[in-house]
Structure formats: C-alpha cells, structure tokens
C-alpha cells in the first residue's frame, strides 16, 4: 500500500471585523404622484435591508409628499407611505426591529417636476 503524503502551504487568512456604523445610514424609497403603495422594487429593497440590519435595531420611517394637491391629502399620503412601509417590514421580519414612523422635514425645491419627484418618498434611518 503506497501512501502519498502532501505538504500543503495554506496561507493565513486575514480577517477583519467590520464596524457597521449605522448612524449615517439612510435609504430612500420613491413613490409616484398620489400613490402610497410600495412598488415591487421598494419591497425588494426592504427585504434586502431587513436581512442585513442587526436584530433589535431601531428603524425610523419618515414619510414625505410633494406640495401638489391639498395639504390634507399630502398629510394623509405622508402617513400612509410610512405606515405601509412599517407594515411590510413587520410582516417580513416580525419582531426583529423596533419601528417608529413620522414625517420627514427634509424637502428640496419643488420648482421642477424632478424636485417634486424627490419629495415623494420615505426616508429610512437606522440606529443600533
């Protein structure tokens, strides 16, 4: 019986711990005019986000709307967008995160269609 002995030189694998500083993290989901339903792309993004965020993280969901339409409707849209996003995250990742909702105060100039589009969104911020 012949035995073949191999001597392998396996290099040391360098590992480094990554500091996941979430203090500056933000995700922005866009919405069409007068719509509060999440798109499939938004749902996919939220699923990916939920997979990588640490359990117990606090997610702030801040809704926003453009200035077109009545202020009452825009306030309703702002709230609906945030609550639908919260409901989706809770459905996908029940109990994994603490979620708070509110209204975004961050707005860009609405002097153009692009500015109004940017304001039709939710902003997601995360804290550990």
Residue 17 maps to a domain: no
pLDDT at 15 over 70: no
What is the pLDDT, as a whole number, of residue 22?
Answer: 78
Residue 8 maps to a domain: no
What is the pLDDT, as a whole number, of residue 42?
Answer: 97
Q: Cβ–Cβ contacts within 10 Å for residue 10, how many? A: 5
pLDDT at 2 over 60: no
Residue 109 maps to a domain: yes
What is the pLDDT, as a whole number, of residue 50?
Answer: 95
Q: Is 124 within 8 Å of 58 (Cβ atoms)?
A: no
What is the pLDDT, as a whole number, of residue 21?
Answer: 75
CA distance 96 to 1: 58
Residue 16 maps to a domain: no
- Tens of pLDDT, residue by residue over 94-124, are 999 999 999 998 889 999 999 999 999 999 9
Q: Is 36 within 8 Å of 79 (Cβ atoms)?
A: no
- Tens of pLDDT, residue by residue over 25-59, are 899 999 999 999 999 999 999 999 999 999 999 99
What is the pLDDT, as a whole number, of residue 37?
Answer: 98
Q: Is 110 within 8 Å of 65 (Cβ atoms)?
A: no
Q: In what order do the strands lie in the sheet with 58-63?
A: 26-30, 121-127, 58-63, 98-103
Q: Residue 75's domain is classified under what CATH number?
A: 3.30.1330.60
Closest C-alpha among 44, 52, 31, 60 to residue 124: 60
Q: How many helices (H) and strands (E) does the chain have?
A: 3, 4
Residue 18 maps to a domain: no
**Domain count of the chain?**
1
pTM above 0.85, yes or no: no
């Amino acid at each position: 019986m012949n035995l073949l002995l191999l001597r392998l030189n396996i290099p040391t694998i360098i590992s480094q711990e990554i500091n996941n500083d979430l203090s500056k993290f933000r995700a922005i989901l866009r919405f069409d005019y007068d719509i509060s339903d999440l798109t499939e792309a938004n749902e996919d993004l939220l699923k990916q986000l939920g997979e990588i965020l640490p359990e117990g993280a606090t997610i702030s969901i801040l809704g926003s709307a453009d200035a077109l339409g009545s202020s009452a409707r825009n306030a309703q849209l702002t709230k609906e967008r945030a609550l639908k996003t919260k409901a989706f995250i809770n459905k996908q990742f029940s109990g994994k995160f603490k979620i708070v909702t509110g209204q975004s105060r961050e707005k860009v100039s609405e002097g153009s269609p692009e500015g109004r589009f940017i304001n039709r969104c939710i902003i997601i911020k995360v804290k550990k």
